[in-house]
Structure 1
């Protein structure tokens, strides 16, 4: 396997409550570089491509360029709206020598080598492989079209109990039923594909609405297989996630062979 790793990093961090989450300190280094370093340790990886924001690419280079350059990362311009646009731009930079492509969320810096071993071993034989976690909670199917607000409408029972002035505006959504959680899993990244499979999928299907690359392959008729993910492989979206990542960092690092450059 000769692997090209694409890391989409063109997002706006809108849910991070101010600031660039990829620049957040995680164990003494920016979160983005932590994510990149996950793959610099792997002998399967031939190329790492980071796709940055198109409207702030120069500032992105100023902030991360030295660290990315040290690791030999290829930096390209990402998309403006959707994640798939960013991945599509990065696909054009994949080396001809690579046999496989992995796409990995920039905000998932805590990938364990054990999980990578599982994914890469399966990807040697299967067209498309993603890590995922089994669902442990009971899952309810909702009816979003019938959502209500307890502070609106003519709910006489609530009016009687609470009185109009005392009611709370609490959105509520009806439950349609309970689904079999064994049929569902929470997808993670990195998602790994034979290069020809992913390239063909991006060229042949409608991309609007696709939320991950496995979905693009699914739309093309491809079969995606799941291997066991890792509960520490969290995606950092909020500052609370960052605090959890800091707590988990020591656990994840303790599983890895020591890197002579970083200890």
Structure 2
């Protein structure tokens, strides 16, 4: 299985309230982006990794990659678009693999076993996502009033990476023509009528978006470090 990885890393992370983009924040001695890259690029199935960056941060990212031992053959950078969806599309075009993983730059706690399970699930239909059952009751709200309560046993919180046959995902992005903005890549594939397999993820595979996430991230890091 030849697998490429696209990591969109052009976000500003305004909700984190930091002075730098959240992917550059230090997590126990290394930037989050580097910790994420160490996991995904070291998976035995991965042969190509592309980090999609903003034009103004490309030099900084490439310097950071070199500093931490990632040469241009192992990890390359490309310039992204205004929206995440456009950035993923640019990353896809830089790959030559049959399969692709799309993974958030600020999910450093993904594990090899979940990536392997995801790739196995994707082989069935050409598309698979990681997700975990929601723990809370979810309600739809309109103008501050509950409109309905959703059935919790049918709800899953979606994570990354998401896995696809690369040509399938390219086709989905082209069909959207950058005019339909989806919140994740699976939505674009779903709109084509392609079944997307759900593979159970890991509650520790959090996305670092807010200051509260940072507190949880430090706890996860300490726990994993003590288990090694």
Native 8 Å contact 1:6 1:87 kept in 2 = yes
Gaps of 5+ in 2: none
Alignment of 1:23-62 (within 5 A): 23-62=24-63
Higher CA-based Rg: 1
Counterpart in the other structure of 2:95 = 94
Alignment of 1:1-263 (within 5 A): 1-18=1-18, 19-67=20-68, 68-69=70-71, 72-80=74-82, 82-95=83-96, 98-143=97-142, 147=143, 173-207=144-178, 208-252=180-224
In the aligned structure 1, how far is the partner of 2:60 from the partner of 2:112?
32
Native 8 Å contact 1:112 1:255 kept in 2 = no
Deviations 1:33-84 (A, max 9, x none): 000011232110010100011233233333444334277201111112x110
In the aligned structure 2, how far is the partner of 1:37 from the partner of 1:61?
15
Question: Deviation of residue 238 (structure 1)?
Answer: 1.7
Native 8 Å contact 2:16 2:210 kept in 1 = yes
Describe the shift of the 1:15–1:87 C-alpha distance in structure 2 as closer, same or farther (beyond 3 A). Answer: same
Native 8 Å contact 1:112 1:252 kept in 2 = no
TM-score, with length taken from structure 1: 0.79
Q: How many pairs align?
A: 225
Native 8 Å contact 1:22 1:32 kept in 2 = yes
Native 8 Å contact 1:113 1:255 kept in 2 = no
In the aligned structure 2, how far is the partner of 1:31 from the partner of 1:56?
15
- RMSD, aligned α-carbons: 1.9
Gaps of 5+ in 1: 148-172, 257-263
TM-score, with length taken from structure 2: 0.91
